[in-house]
Structure 1
Amino acid sequence: MVIKKQFKSIKVQEFEEPYRQALYDFKLSDRQQIYSSLPKDVLDDALTDKDRIANIVLNEKDQVVGFFVLHQFYQHEGYDTPEQVVYVRSLSINEAFQGNGYGTQIMMFIPQYVQTVFPDFNHLYLVVDAENKGAWNLYERAGFMHTATKEEGPIGKERLYYLDLDAKYVSSLSLVLNDEEYKYGINIIDLIKDGSKVGFIAVEQHDNRLNITSIEVDASERLSGIAQSALRQLPTFVRKNFEGINVITITLYGERNELKPLCLNSNFVAFEEGDDFVIFEKYINY
């Protein structure tokens, strides 16, 4: 039985033979082919390997707009990842359909799709070339966390991204800079879910640092993963909306502050601790 999942305006499914010609006609620019293989070049390898599944993405007109391979038990050279993993490989958007938001939709819903295809796996990884900033901004927006950098990949420096499939992630969450003026250099970033504000992050800029002073989520949404999803998206948002910021910090007070697990699960690192406080930081430019 072919697995098929409908997500908003796209359908993600396992490859079927009637779509082979569409993959042969799939176009990528010369530059994009530096970062990703054409589907026709990896399709048959995926179909003959029991650990790989070739997948296509269709729009509302049943046109093939995207392609990717899910590879279970894969171990990418140079990285020490668990055995029970799934890697997203050869992800690309057909050049004829780029600029329509399909890449964002695919990344937002890949976790749900992977859990359907591989229900017993909870580690999802992908590797991206470091100079391909558009791609890794998208992956971070989708909740993936940068966990390692390899200096010598096939075409140079590359980055490893990870998503814990057991963690709650809100694919419909977006961050929006509040345009009201606030005193003392405070900026408010609204957390928008399905068109409604469900919380905010308050930040202050100090030279090349952006300090989080408060994270607030509506009481009705506090168990849905809003705060963690927001912190995972924050680096990409900051790169786009704040100039000169290299690091995000947050200071937590109290011996058992409830936000410590939230920071750790969002890839912040504790770099200074005292009896009553801990300062977390996350570098966002590499």
Structure 2
Amino acid sequence: MVYQTQFEDLIVQEFEECYREAVEQFELSERQQIYSSLPKDVLDEALEDPHRVANIARNHEGEVVAFFVLHEYYQHEGYDTPNHVVYVRSLSVNEAFQGHGYGTKVMMYLPQYVQELFPDFNHLYLVVDAENEAAWNLYERSGFMHAATKEEGPIGKERLYYLDLDAKFVSSLRLKPNTQEDDHGIYIVDLLKDDEKVGFLALELHTSRINIAAIEVDEEMRQSGIAQSALRQIATYVRKHFKDVKVITITLYGAHNEFRAMCTHSNFVETSATEHYVMFEKYINY
């Protein structure tokens, strides 16, 4: 039985032969083919391998707009990752359907799809070429964390990204600038879940550094993973809105601050600690 599920206006499912023609007609620009294989070049190999699952995404009109392979137990050359993992491979959006947000939607809901398709796996990995900034920004926004960098991949420097499928992540969370003016160097970022405001971040700009001064989530939403999802997405947000910023910092006060583990799990590094506070930082231009 072919597994499929719907996310917003997309149906994501395992490949079926009735979609072969659409997949084989898939087109990518020459530059995109540097970063990702054409689906027709990897489809049969995936279908013949019991550890790979070929998948497609269809829009509300039934058109195949995206393709990707999920590869269990895969080991990418040059990285020491656990054996019991799933890798995302050959992910692409058909050139004819690019610019409609399909790639973003696939990535935002990919963790949920993988959990349903591979319930016994909790480690999800992917590798991206370092030059493909648009891709790794999207992966970070989707909750993936940079785990390692390899200087010499097939076409140059590449990055390994990792997502813990057991961690809470809110796929529909969006970070949006608050339009209210502030005269004190404080920038408010609204946290929107399903287009409803559920909290905010307060950011202090200091030339090439930005400090997260506050994280506030509506009381009824505090156990749903909103805060950690916001921390995972903040690097992408800052790159987009603050071009000169190179590092994000957070200072937590109190010995048992609830955000301490959350910062660590979001790739912030503890730089100093005292009895009264802990300081974290995260470099975002690497």
Provide the TM-score with structure 2 as the length reference: 0.98
The residue number in structure 2 matching 1:31 is 31
Q: Deviation string for 1:27-72 (max 9, x for gaps)? A: 0000000000000100111011111000011111111101000000
The residue number in structure 2 matching 1:64 is 64
- CA distance in 2 between partners of 1:199 and 1:262 (Å): 16
- CA distance in 2 between partners of 1:8 and 1:203 (Å): 31
- CA distance in 2 between partners of 1:190 and 1:15 (Å): 38
Q: What does residue range 12-161 of structure 1 map to in structure 2 within 5 Å?
A: 12-161=12-161
Q: Deviation string for 1:115-165 (max 9, x for gaps)? A: 111000000010000000010111111111111111111111101111111
- CA distance in 2 between partners of 1:180 and 1:57 (Å): 38
- CA distance in 1 between partners of 2:89 and 2:224 (Å): 29
The residue number in structure 2 matching 1:268 is 268
- CA distance in 2 between partners of 1:183 and 1:272 (Å): 30
Query: Secondary structure, in 3 states, of the residue corresponding to 1:140?
Result: helix
The residue number in structure 1 matching 2:185 is 185
The residue number in structure 2 matching 1:234 is 234
> Does the alignment pair 1:245 with 2:241?
no
Structure 2 residues without counterparts, runs of 5 or longer: none
- CA distance in 2 between partners of 1:6 and 1:227 (Å): 26
Aligned-pair distance for 1:182? Answer: 2.0
Q: Deviation string for 1:71-120 (max 9, x for gaps)? A: 00111111111111000000000001000100001001111110111000
Aligned-pair distance for 1:183? Answer: 3.5
Aligned-pair distance for 1:184? Answer: 2.1
Aligned-pair distance for 1:275? Answer: 2.5
What residue identity is the alignment partner of 1:262? M
- CA distance in 1 between partners of 2:156 and 2:53 (Å): 27
- CA distance in 2 between partners of 1:262 and 1:156 (Å): 33
Aligned residue-pair number: 286
The residue number in structure 1 matching 2:175 is 175
What residue identity is the alignment partner of 1:177? P
- CA distance in 2 between partners of 1:269 and 1:105 (Å): 29
Aligned-pair distance for 1:274? Answer: 2.0
Q: Deviation string for 1:213-241 (max 9, x for gaps)? A: 11000000000000000011100011111
What residue identity is the alignment partner of 2:28? L
Q: Deviation string for 1:174-216 (max 9, x for gaps)? A: 0011121223211111101112111110010112110011100
- CA distance in 2 between partners of 1:74 and 1:240 (Å): 33
Query: Secondary structure, in 3 states, of the residue corresponding to 1:187?
Result: strand
What residue identity is the alignment partner of 1:29? S
- CA distance in 1 between partners of 2:182 and 2:101 (Å): 33
Aligned-pair distance for 1:7? Answer: 0.8
Query: Secondary structure, in 3 states, of the residue corresponding to 2:111?
Result: helix
Moved segments of 4+, more than 4 Å? none
Provide the TM-score with structure 1 as the length reference: 0.98
Aligned-pair distance for 1:243? Answer: 2.3
What residue identity is the alignment partner of 1:206? H
Seq. identity, %: 67
Query: Secondary structure, in 3 states, of the residue corresponding to 2:77?
Result: coil
- CA distance in 2 between partners of 1:181 and 1:22 (Å): 49
What residue identity is the alignment partner of 2:223? L
Aligned-pair distance for 1:21? Answer: 1.0
